[in-house]
Amino acid sequence: MISEHHILGANILIVDDQASNVSLLLQLLRGAGYTRVASTMNPQEVCALHREHHYDLILLDLKMPGMDGFQVMEGLKTDGADRYLPVIVLTAEPGHKLRALQAGAKDFISKPFDLVEVKTRIHNMLEVRLLYKRLDGYNKMLEQTVQERTAKLRDSEARFLSLTKLASDWYWEQNATGEFTTVSGPVLEILGIRVTAFFGQRTDEEITGWNEAERQALQAVIAARQPFLDFAFSRINADGSQQQFRVSGEPMFNNACRFIGFRGIGVETTAR
């Protein structure tokens, strides 16, 4: 909740072309304990004043010469000073109340003034306004925190990718449907799938020499979305020599815990 101290310290502007109304409202608000109350009898100054002082509440007369209250509200909505229009309109014409609310005013006070009603509506309006400002501040802080943590995460992932490339013979990433999105090294052959080259070329020739049981076991682990560490497998080349490898991998999930793919690294462990 908003404390009485913060409500009485809110920034208020009175806009009325009648000096008697301005004087009455100033006396009423200051007598009620409000400490930051300003006024103007020139409606054309309101937008500039609000951009400078960021009022928590504007008490706005609707019927003024040169520029009426409806025009002032339109100006407040377009000058970008505040996404929330903190206006209570002052009017003696019942027909203007609905139009004022439709134009963006948050409340209205009827003329001639009922002093108890004036104080009550102003107090309630300021409480809502200050709660909105507090929520807006929290949202901005949360957004900044998310941006900072996202930047750190991206930096961490970039470092991880760089380190894995340096510490391994290959690195790969697959999307949720098993298609390779990032590949460094001979991972396509290692996993024993039909190869789609990066340059758009395709071959239907199965890569041979791999231990079929090991290959199927590795594919089963990936299909089950299970992490694995130092999975060992081997290949016999056409000349009869044998190559040995170890591969590690893990599933990837987004912030909503939805599976988005797999990534992993591998090294050749053949004795030299």
Q: What is the pLDDT of residues 192-214, one digit of tens each?
A: 543 343 323 344 445 567 788 88
The pTM for the full model equals 0.54
Q: How do the pLDDT tens digits run along the chain, 272 residues long?
A: 789 999 999 999 999 999 999 999 999 999 999 999 999 999 999 999 999 999 999 999 999 998 999 999 999 988 665 677 889 999 888 888 889 989 889 999 988 899 999 999 999 999 988 888 888 777 778 888 888 777 777 776 666 665 555 556 777 788 888 887 887 766 656 555 433 433 233 444 455 677 888 888 888 888 888 898 888 888 888 888 888 888 888 899 887 888 998 888 888 888 76
pLDDT of residue 53: 92
CATH topology of domain 168-268: Beta-Lactamase (3.30.450)
Nearest to 60 by CA among 18, 98, 28, 7: 18
The one-letter amino acid at 169: D
Element (H, E) at 261: strand 259-268
Superfamily of domain 4-141: Response regulator (3.40.50.2300)
Average confidence score pLDDT of the chain: 82
Q: Are 237 and 243 in contact (CB under 8 A)?
A: yes
Q: Which residue intervals of the chain are DSSP H helices?
A: 4-8, 19-31, 46-53, 69-78, 95-102, 115-167, 187-190, 212-223
Token representation of residue 106 = 């948050």
Residues of the chain with CATH 3.30.450.20: 168-268
- CA 261/CA 107 separation, integer angstroms: 53
Half-sphere exposure of 197 (CA within 13 A, CB side): 7
Within the chain, which residue ranges are assigned CATH 3.40.50.2300? 4-141
Q: What is the pLDDT of residues 101-138, one digit of tens each?
A: 898 899 999 888 999 999 999 999 999 888 888 887 77
